[in-house]
C-alpha cells in the first residue's frame, strides 16, 4: 500500500516536472492515436497545434494544483520556500504565501532534521530522481504532524529548484505505532498466545509459546494445536471446546498438554472467537497460562491435608477410646462399692465423660473434622443419659430442636457438658415418683456467633439449697462454670417444672484459652 502511494506521488510529480516538453518530444505537436499510415495519408493527415489542443493549459494546471489535497512546494537549493499550494492552509494552518521566503528546515522537528537534510542533498545531486522521506513538520498552532514527501530536482540547466509533494500521514503513523505497541505486547506477553483460523490451523504463536512448548514458530505455523495434545485429556472435553467456540461463545478450562520433549504440563486456557463486520467467525485467539506449578502445589496441599485428616481422625478415635477406658474404670469402681450415693455419683461422672467421648466419636466419623452437627450430637447424648437411668428409659421422652447448627470442638465440649449436667439434674430429681415426663432441648442461633439454649422439663422442679443467697450444689456450680466458659448468661424462668434460658457465644478459641 505504501509503495503504491509513493508511485502515485511520483507520477504526479513527473507531470509537473515535465510540463514543458521533456527532451525527445515533437515540439508540442501531437499525432492522433491510431494507424500511422491512416493518420499521415493525404486524405486524413491533420496537424494539430499543441497550443490550441493541449488540454493541460496553465490555467488548468493552476486549478489542478489548487484542488490537490496534497501540498505542492517548490524549494530553492538552499531550502528556501519559493511556492506553496493552497492546500497548506487546510493541512498546516498557514496562509498560502505565509511561508514563502522562509527556510523549510526551520519548521522540521529537530529529531528528524539531520535525516531530512541528507535526503534533501541527495535529491539535489540526483536530478529527476524522486526522493521519498517522512518527517514531523510544525503547524501554525505549534503542534507537529507527520508528513510524507516525494521530491525531485528539475532536469533543467535553467533551474536547480526542487518540486515536493507532501501529504499528512499522521493517522497512518499513529496507527502503525499502535500496531507496533500491540504487537510488542502480544509478543512479549507472559501468557502463551495462539491464533488459528476457523479450521484450527495455527497462524500465529508468540515467543512464550516457543519458550514453553519447545516448538519453534516455523514448526507451529500451519500446524494444529493437537501437536500439544496428551492422552490425559478426554475427547469429550475437546468436543465441548469446539462446540462452544464454533457457536461464537468463549470457552474456558484447564487442559493437561504435552511439550515437544514429552513433558506434561497444565494450562488454563481461554479461547475467544474473532468475528468480522458481518459477524462471521474468522479466527480463534487462545490465551493460555501455565499453571503447572500451582497444580503441583495444590496436589501436594491436598495430599498433606488428606494425611492430616487421617491423623486427626486417628487422634479423635484414640481420645474417644481413652475416654472409654476412663468410663470403664468408673463403671468398675461403681460395681465395687455398696454406698448407693457414691455409686450414683460415679454414674454421673461416667455420663460427663461420655458427653466428651461422644464429641470425639462424631468428629472421628464425620467428613468435616472442624465442626459437629449439634442436633445429631444432642440426640446421641440424650440416648446415653436415658440409658444410664433404667427406671426412666421408657417413661421420659427427650425432644431435640437444633436444626442446621454446628459447633467447633472448643464450643461443643463445654456445651455438651452443660446440657449433660442440666439433663442429669432433671433425670435425677425431676421425675421421682412419676410414670412419665418430657424434656425439650432447643438450640437457636440469635446472631453472628450468638446462640440461645432453651431447656424445659415438666417435672417437679429442682430442689436447691440456698446459703447466703447462693445455690449450694456441685452440679449448679459446674453449670455456672460452663456458662461462664461459653461467655454466656443463665436465667431460671418460672414454670411448673424446670425452664432454663441460656444465652452464649459460639467459637472463640482465644477467649477459651484465656479463660483456661
> pLDDT tens digits for 229-254?
988 888 899 999 999 999 999 999 99
Task: Let me know the angle formed at the C-alpha of 278 by 272 and 281, rounded to the nearest 5 degrees.
Answer: 30
The β-bridge relationship of strands 81-84 and 281-290 is unpaired
More confident residue, 104 or 362: 104
Confidence at residue 357, expressed as pLDDT on a 0 to 100 scale: 74
d(CA 100, CA 74): 10
| DSSP H stretches of helix in 336-469 | 340-365, 374-387, 409-425
Residue 131 reports pLDDT greater than 80: yes
Q: Are 259 and 243 in contact (CB under 8 A)?
A: no
Confidence at residue 4, expressed as pLDDT on a 0 to 100 scale: 56
Helix then strand count (H, E) for the chain reads: 16, 19
Residue 178 reports pLDDT greater than 60: yes
More confident residue, 24 or 135: 135
| Spatial CA neighbour of 378 closest among 436, 418, 437, 326 | 418
Q: Provide the pLDDT confidence category of residue 317 given band limits of 50, 70 and 90.
A: low
Task: Let me know the angle formed at the C-alpha of 225 by 223 and 231, rounded to the nearest 5 degrees.
Answer: 125
The chain-wide mean pLDDT, for the chain, equals 80
Residue 51 reports pLDDT greater than 60: no
Q: Which three cell numbers stand for residue 296?
A: 503441583
Mean pLDDT of 308-328: 68
Confidence at residue 515, expressed as pLDDT on a 0 to 100 scale: 44
Mean pLDDT of 357-371: 69
Mean pLDDT of 277-294: 92
Which of the residue ranges 367-376, 414-423, 445-454 would you say has the lowest mean pLDDT? 367-376
What is the CB neighbour count within 10 angstroms for residue 294?
Answer: 12
Mean pLDDT of 303-312: 70
Residue 379 reports pLDDT greater than 50: yes
CA distances from residue 84 to 8, 144, 330, 339, 424 in whole angstroms, order as listed: 20, 18, 116, 127, 111
More confident residue, 462 or 144: 144
Q: What percent of the chain has pLDDT over 70?
A: 77
Which of 221-230, 265-274, 367-376, 408-417 has the highest average model confidence (pLDDT)? 265-274
Q: Are 454 and 446 in contact (CB under 8 A)?
A: no
SS3 for 86-123, per residue?
A: CCHHHHHCCCCCCCCCCEHHHHECHHHHHHHHHHHHHH
More confident residue, 439 or 434: 439
Confidence at residue 39, expressed as pLDDT on a 0 to 100 scale: 38
Q: What would the pLDDT profile of 442-494 be if each residue is shown by its tens digit?
A: 999 998 889 999 999 988 876 555 444 455 566 677 888 888 888 899 888 88
Q: Are 130 and 13 in contact (CB under 8 A)?
A: yes
More confident residue, 134 or 156: 134
d(CA 197, CA 281): 9
Which of the residue ranges 11-25, 236-250, 262-276, 392-406 would you say has the lowest mean pLDDT? 11-25
Confidence at residue 113, expressed as pLDDT on a 0 to 100 scale: 94
Q: Provide the pLDDT confidence category of residue 183 given band limits of 50, 70 and 90.
A: confident
CA distances from residue 433 to 345, 458, 498 in whole angstroms, order as listed: 20, 13, 16
The β-bridge relationship of strands 144-153 and 131-138 is antiparallel
Start-to-end Cα distance in the chain: 84
d(CA 493, CA 143): 88
**β-strand partners of 467:** 470
Which of 2-6, 212-216, 413-417 has the highest average model confidence (pLDDT)? 212-216
Q: Are 397 and 438 in contact (CB under 8 A)?
A: yes
What is the DSSP secondary-structure string of 153-200? E-S-SS---EEEEEEE-HHHHHHHHHHHHHHHHHHT-SSEEEEEETT-
Which of 199-203, 365-369, 425-429, 481-485 has the highest average model confidence (pLDDT)? 199-203
Residue 6 reports pLDDT greater than 60: no
| Spatial CA neighbour of 134 closest among 121, 155, 150, 123 | 150
Using CB atoms within 10 Å of the CB of residue 356, give its burial: 0 to 12 exposed, 13 to 18 middle, 19+ buried.
buried
pTM for the predicted model, two decimal places: 0.47
| Residue 82: its H or E element | strand 81-84
Q: Are 29 and 49 in contact (CB under 8 A)?
A: yes
Using CB atoms within 10 Å of the CB of residue 211, give its burial: 0 to 12 exposed, 13 to 18 middle, 19+ buried.
exposed
Q: Provide the pLDDT confidence category of residue 269 given band limits of 50, 70 and 90.
A: very high
What is the DSSP secondary-structure string of 448-493? TTEEEEEEEE-SS-----EETTEE--HHHHHHHHHHHHTT-EEEEE
Amino acid at each position: 500500500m505504501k509503495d503504491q502511494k509513493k508511485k502515485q506521488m511520483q507520477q504526479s510529480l513527473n507531470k509537473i516536472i515535465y510540463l514543458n516538453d521533456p527532451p525527445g518530444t515533437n515540439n508540442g505537436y501531437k499525432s492522433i492515436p491510431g494507424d500511422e499510415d491512416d493518420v499521415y495519408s493525404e486524405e486524413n493527415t491533420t496537424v494539430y497545434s499543441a497550443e490550441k489542443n493541449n488540454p493541460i493549459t496553465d490555467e488548468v494546471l493552476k486549478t489542478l494544483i489548487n484542488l490537490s489535497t496534497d501540498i505542492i512546494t517548490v524549494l530553492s537549493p538552499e531550502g528556501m520556500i519559493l511556492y506553496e499550494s493552497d492546500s497548506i492552509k487546510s493541512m498546516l494552518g498557514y496562509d498560502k504565501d505565509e511561508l514563502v521566503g522562509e527556510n523549510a528546515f526551520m519548521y522540521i522537528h529537530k529529531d528528524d532534521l539531520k535525516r531530512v537534510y541528507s535526503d534533501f542533498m541527495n535529491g539535489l545531486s540526483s536530478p529527476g530522481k524522486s526522493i521519498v522521506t517522512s518527517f514531523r513538520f510544525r503547524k501554525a498552532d505549534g503542534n507537529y504532524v507527520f508528513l510524507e514527501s516525494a521530491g525531485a530536482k528539475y532536469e533543467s540547466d535553467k533551474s536547480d529548484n526542487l518540486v515536493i509533494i507532501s501529504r499528512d500521514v499522521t493517522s497512518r503513523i499513529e496507527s502503525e505505532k499502535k500496531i507496533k505497541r500491540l504487537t510488542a505486547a502480544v509478543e512479549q506477553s507472559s501468557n502463551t498466545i495462539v491464533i488459528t483460523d476457523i479450521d484450527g490451523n495455527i497462524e500465529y504463536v508468540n515467543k512464550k509459546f516457543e519458550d514453553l512448548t519447545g516448538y519453534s514458530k516455523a514448526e507451529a505455523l500451519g500446524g494444529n494445536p493437537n501437536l500439544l495434545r496428551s492422552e490425559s485429556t478426554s475427547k469429550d472435553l475437546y468436543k465441548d471446546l469446539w462446540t462452544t467456540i464454533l457457536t461464537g461463545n468463549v470457552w474456558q478450562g484447564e487442559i493437561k498438554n504435552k511439550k515437544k520433549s514429552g513433558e506434561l504440563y497444565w494450562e488454563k486456557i481461554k479461547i475467544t472467537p474473532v468475528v468480522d463486520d458481518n459477524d462471521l467467525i474468522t479466527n480463534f485467539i487462545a490465551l493460555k497460562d501455565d499453571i503447572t506449578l500451582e497444580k503441583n502445589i495444590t496436589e501436594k496441599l491436598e495430599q498433606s491435608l488428606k494425611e492430616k485428616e487421617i491423623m486427626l481422625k486417628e487422634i479423635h478415635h484414640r481420645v474417644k477410646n481413652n475416654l472409654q477406658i476412663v468410663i470403664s474404670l468408673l463403671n468398675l469402681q461403681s460395681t465395687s462399692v455398696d454406698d448407693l450415693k457414691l455409686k450414683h455419683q460415679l454414674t454421673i461422672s461416667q455420663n460427663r465423660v461420655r458427653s466428651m467421648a461422644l464429641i470425639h466419636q462424631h468428629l472421628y466419623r464425620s467428613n468435616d473434622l472442624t465442626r459437629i452437627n449439634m442436633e445429631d450430637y444432642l440426640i446421641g447424648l440424650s440416648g446415653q443419659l436415658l440409658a444410664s437411668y433404667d427406671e426412666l428409659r421408657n417413661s421420659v421422652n427427650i425432644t431435640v430442636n437444633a436444626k442446621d447448627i454446628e459447633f467447633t470442638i472448643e464450643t461443643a465440649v463445654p456445651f455438651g457438658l452443660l446440657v449433660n449436667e442440666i439433663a442429669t439434674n432433671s433425670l435425677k430429681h425431676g421425675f421421682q415418683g412419676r410414670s412419665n415426663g418430657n424434656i425439650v432441648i432447643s438450640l437457636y442461633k440469635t446472631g453472628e456467633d450468638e446462640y440461645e439454649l432453651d431447656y424445659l422439663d415438666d417435672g417437679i422442679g429442682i430442689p436447691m439449697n440456698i446459703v447466703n443467697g447462693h445455690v449450694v450444689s456441685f452440679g449448679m456450680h459446674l453449670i455456672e462454670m460452663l456458662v461462664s466458659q461459653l461467655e454466656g448468661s443463665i436465667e431460671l424462668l418460672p414454670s411448673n417444672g424446670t425452664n432454663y434460658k441460656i444465652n452464649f457465644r459460639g467459637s472463640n478459641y482465644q477467649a477459651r484459652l484465656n479463660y483456661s
